[in-house]
Amino acid sequence: MSVVAWTPTSARYREVALTLRRTCRELGPGPLRVLDAGGGEGRDAVALALLGHDVTVLDSSRQALAAAREAAAAAGVSDTFRTVDADLDDVAALARITRHREGGSGSYDLVLCHDVLPERGSTARVVADVAALTSSVHAGGAVSLLAPVGAPQDPALLGLDRDLVEDALLAAGCEIVHRAADLGSATTGRGARDAVRYWHLVGLRHGT
């Protein structure tokens, strides 16, 4: 994988990258501990590692994780970049990588879950996922969620209303600090426009 593979060239990635940069600055001087749940080939994770943060990508695709490690190596951030072969259901893996108390709760500064929640099968499961993701950041930490707007073309995927996920973040103990309802289309490698639009939410966890 070349270095340009994770560069935020599309409108959607640029907007998300700017929001994540701002969120990281607001969370503190760093380096921050970041978990990218379902991070795939590491597009967001490598960009955050380049900012000096300590990043872990969790994904169940070994091929994607290998690509993420390759991208991290190409960017020169392998020392602060790690991958874990697991998924959102693997609480034992979360506990292991956080090196915190049982369940992995509360040790990260920032948790990302981008373009993954529509694959989770039901809205009840998504609500539970949001609670689990929120529990993985300490009080004052942030959770970043991204998903397509409207009904997906693939019938196996969920169409997730942003308000439902926002309510799940609030119920999990977060204050919403960023809302984007209609992020720009992504550009494919052939220069064509992808009609899919995205919403983006960032929640800040309450508590002490």
pLDDT tens, per residue, the chain with 208 residues: 223 333 444 677 888 999 999 999 999 987 999 999 999 999 999 999 999 999 999 999 999 999 999 999 999 999 999 999 988 877 545 645 554 444 345 678 999 999 999 999 899 999 988 988 888 888 899 999 999 887 777 788 888 889 999 999 999 999 999 998 877 654 444 444 456 788 999 999 987 5
Place of tokens 């989770």: 120
What pLDDT shows up at residue 89?
79
Angle between helices 11-27 and 43-50 (to 10 degrees): 40
Count the Cβ atoms, other than its own, within 10 Å of residue 75.
19
What pLDDT shows up at residue 93?
57
What pLDDT shows up at residue 13?
80
Q: What Å distances lie between residue 202 and 54, 89, 110, 121, 152, CA to CA? A: 19, 22, 10, 22, 22
Pick the CATH number of 3-205 from 3.40.50.150, 3.40.50.620, 3.40.50.300, 3.40.50.1820: 3.40.50.150
Q: What is the spatial distance between Cα 98 and Cα 106, in angstroms, rounded to a whole number? A: 8
Amino acid 20 reads L
What pLDDT shows up at residue 121?
85
**Full-model pTM:** 0.85
Q: What is the spatial distance between Cα 120 and Cα 116, in angstroms, rounded to a whole number? A: 7
Domains in the chain: boundaries: 3-205
What pLDDT shows up at residue 29?
86
Instruction: Return the H-helix or E-strand segment holding 22.
Output: helix 11-27
What pLDDT shows up at residue 12?
75
Q: Could you please report the per-residue DSSP string of 53-110?
A: -EEEEEES-HHHHHHHHHHHHHHT-GGGEEEEE--TT-HHHHHHHHTSSTT-TT-EEE
Amino acid 164 reads L
What pLDDT shows up at residue 188?
41
What pLDDT shows up at residue 99?
47
